[in-house]
Chain A
Amino acid sequence: MTVPGPIFILGVPVVVAVGLQFLRRWTAVTAWLGAVTAGLIGAGVVFLPLTQPWQLGSLEIELGEPLLILGRKLSVQPVDRFALAFLFFTTAGLFVVAWRLLPHSNFFPIGLVTVSLLAGALLVEQVVYTALLVVMAAVLAVFPLHEPETMSGRAGTEEHGDGSRTSGGLRYMAYAVLALPGLMITQLLLDLFATFPNDQGLLSGAAVLMSLSFAILFGAVPFQSWLSNVAMNGSPPVVTFIFTVNLGTVWFMLLSYLQSYAWLERQVAFGPLLTALGLLMMITGGLLAASQQSLGRLVGYATLVDNGAMLLALSLERAEGIALASMLLLARPLSLSLMTLGLQGLRSVGGGDDSWEAVSGAAWRTPWRAVAFMVGGIALAGFPISLSFPARWGLYRLLAAKNLFWALLALGGSAGVMLGLVGVIRSLLTPPATGTRPRAVGPGVRAITVVEDRGVLLLIVVLILVSLILGLFPQQVGRVSLQMAEWYTFFQ
């Protein structure tokens, strides 16, 4: 019996997720089982042949065999393999990171179901279903984002006037649903345009709606509030999941749209639109990052700048731009994971609060968490030595060849993130007054030094080393990004 590839890719995570839900008591088992499942599917997508069947017991799995559901086709195309591998490998890595941070969490089962929905979104051919599955995944991610266990002692966020303790999840869900009508109606308009090719109004309507929907999903200005709110009061590992896996899918969805409707890119002012949007995101994100006084918000605004850089790379309207944006996407899980590990520890030192005031001097109490946050932050800002640096440098060079002022503005955005990070570093390194006890900001503050979990320390060291090595030798990742970019031919 031949099993179509999509059943293997979408079905296995869901089945394992059901099992993980019953095993939640044993965090190590759920985390590692989830990570191995996601890793194996990722490896299967990369290494299994697309057209030849693969024997698994009495079953024959053929990756390229399409699956039909009520007449709708799901199939693995060569172009999808990179995207799927990114989703599954990132999920596997984040499960390992969350292993010591989220005891008894539902992040592991829900994460697997979410990645299955997102993979389905990439495999299905009709855009309507892609949009619906992406939004369903966004709503599902809200559950682990605000778990009661990780929210205890987080009342500090309300004191700083940031709304309720669940505003991140609520806003993310609301914005994702707000993006849905645009994507679904775009499909209707494009279908109508195929019937009435002389009606340019249909095309303009589709372009406006599509741009608006993607702007909402990417957290572009003025829709950036969901990014900062999610980062501000969400559980850090889940925030990383949303900013890498969920946003990564949105990125691949945008590329898929442009690939499917290549004429759309030629008929509307696509390049200038993306340039304006990307620059606006980078400048606004940089300014907000430089002026904020909360570690969580800094993560949100640094992601906004990174999203802007990706859109700016796409606005170059050449294959190198797609490769640079993909490289930025590949670098993001590393930098955000480091920031996550740092943020979680620094928040617990601050009694659940992550304002500068609360984490002042925290580097002396939990040095490795502070180092993780700093290294991750420098990487996300696109400064050396990190994998993002060569991608950002390439972007500035290509942009400068087009318009030097734009390149300087983009560089200013990154510098804004770095400025915010310098403020954080100053606060973290504030020396504690001799002979005084740490300020009692909440239940998390117990002693002068915090005894670190050895597993977390090991993870931090490994991630810092990987980040540095890839920053020094980015050629292999660059090659993969270029290969991926070759599949998208809409700029040729």
Chain B
Amino acid sequence: MSPIVAWLKHFSYFTAGLAVWGLFLAGAVIYLIAEWRIRVLALFAQYFFLALLFTRLFADRPELALLKMLVGWLICGALYFSARVRQDAVDGHSHFHWAADLPFRAFSLATFTLVAYLASQHYALPFIPENLALACFLLTVLALLFIGTDEDVVVVGVGVLNLLAALDMFYSSQDPGLLVTGLLVMLNLLVGLAVSYLAVVEVPE
């Protein structure tokens, strides 16, 4: 084993817990803050934490985790440009503001997080480390919140991407085959492109 791979293995082992909650915090920022620049930045951070968690799954092939992070950042880039086009078309100004129905969102986020935490404690997912299982549950509840309670194209799209990330993490731990990984990467890219496309075309001319 090369020293870099060995170091990565140790690093990911010690930082996995931190990465799980980093992942959740990034998701919470996307859900609670309506400023698109902060949202894209949070998604960027989320993909970094995801890559950290994936290094635990692909301990001997860290390049796969790197690939997933790069694809995620590519999607962030596409979403950044779409959001910018949309912003320019609407009013051209952008400022920090919380999501409109903040108390409801904060309450649902807290409830869903609790549900995810309890689910990870009571229903052990097979063949997957405990903190990665918690990450899967957290990503799934974030996805359900984004898809179910928001109408913004980018937020719903991020929900779809979060769901795919949860599935990717769970499935890679069961069957770390290259073909499934490759197809999931392609699906992520397609979803990212579709979301940024929809974000642009929905702007009235």
Residue in chain A with minimal CB distance to B163 = A177
Confirm or deny: A304 has a beta carbon within 8 angstroms of a beta carbon on chain B.
no
Confirm or deny: A392 has a beta carbon within 8 angstroms of a beta carbon on chain B.
no
Give the chain A neighbours of B100 by CB distance below 8 A: none
Q: How far does the alpha carbon of A151 sit from the alpha carbon of B197 in the complex, in Å?
A: 13
Residue in chain B with minimal CB distance to A136 = B187
Confirm or deny: A393 has a beta carbon within 8 angstroms of a beta carbon on chain B.
no
Confirm or deny: A466 has a beta carbon within 8 angstroms of a beta carbon on chain B.
no
Chain A, range 140-194, C-beta contacts under 8 Å to B: 140, 142-143, 146-148, 151-152, 155, 163-167, 169-170, 173-174, 177-178, 180-181, 184-185, 188
Of B9-17, B54-62, B176-184, the stretch lying at the interface with chain A is: B176-184
* Closest Cβ–Cβ distance, residue B87 to chain A (whole Å): 16
Of A37-45, A127-135, A242-250, A427-435, the stretch lying at the interface with chain B is: A127-135
Give the chain A neighbours of B204 by CB distance below 8 A: 155, 165
CB contact under 8 A between A135 and B156, given known A148-B205, A181-B167 = no
CB contact under 8 A between A139 and B187, given known A178-B147, A180-B167 = yes
* Closest Cβ–Cβ distance, residue B122 to chain A (whole Å): 16
Confirm or deny: B28 has a beta carbon within 8 angstroms of a beta carbon on chain A.
no
Contact of A178 among B163, B178, B184, B197 (CB under 8 A): B163
Which residue, A135, A142, A143, A170, has most C-beta atoms of chain B within 10 A?
A170
Q: Is the CB of B174 within 8 A of A70?
A: no
Confirm or deny: A72 has a beta carbon within 8 angstroms of a beta carbon on chain B.
yes
* Closest Cβ–Cβ distance, residue B185 to chain A (whole Å): 11
Q: Is the CB of A132 within 8 A of B153?
A: no
Question: How many residues in A have their beta carbons less than 8 Å from beta carbons of B?
Answer: 35
Q: Is the CB of B153 within 8 A of A170?
A: yes
Give the chain B neighbours of A181 by CB distance below 8 A: 163, 166-167, 170
Confirm or deny: B18 has a beta carbon within 8 angstroms of a beta carbon on chain A.
no
Contact of B153 among A72, A151, A166, A184 (CB under 8 A): A166
Give the chain A neighbours of B171 by CB distance below 8 A: 184-185, 188
Give the chain A neighbours of B156 by CB distance below 8 A: 170, 174
Give the chain A neighbours of B163 by CB distance below 8 A: 177-178, 181
Q: How far does the alpha carbon of A180 sit from the alpha carbon of B191 in the complex, in Å?
A: 13
Give the chain B neighbours of A136 by CB distance below 8 A: 183, 186-187, 190
Q: Is the CB of B167 within 8 A of A184?
A: yes
Q: Is the CB of A169 within 8 A of B194?
A: yes
Confirm or deny: A69 has a beta carbon within 8 angstroms of a beta carbon on chain B.
yes
Q: Is the CB of B201 within 8 A of A148?
A: yes
CB contact under 8 A between A143 and B197, given known A164-B202, A166-B202, A188-B175 = yes
Give the chain A neighbours of B201 by CB distance below 8 A: 146-148, 151, 165-166
Which residues of chain A have a CB within 8 Å of any CB of chain B?
69-70, 72, 128-129, 132-133, 135-136, 139-140, 142-143, 146-148, 151-152, 155, 163-167, 169-170, 173-174, 177-178, 180-181, 184-185, 188
Which residues of chain B have a CB within 8 Å of any CB of chain A?
147, 151, 153, 156-157, 159-160, 163-164, 166-167, 170-171, 174-175, 177-180, 183-184, 186-187, 190-191, 194-195, 197-198, 201-202, 204-205
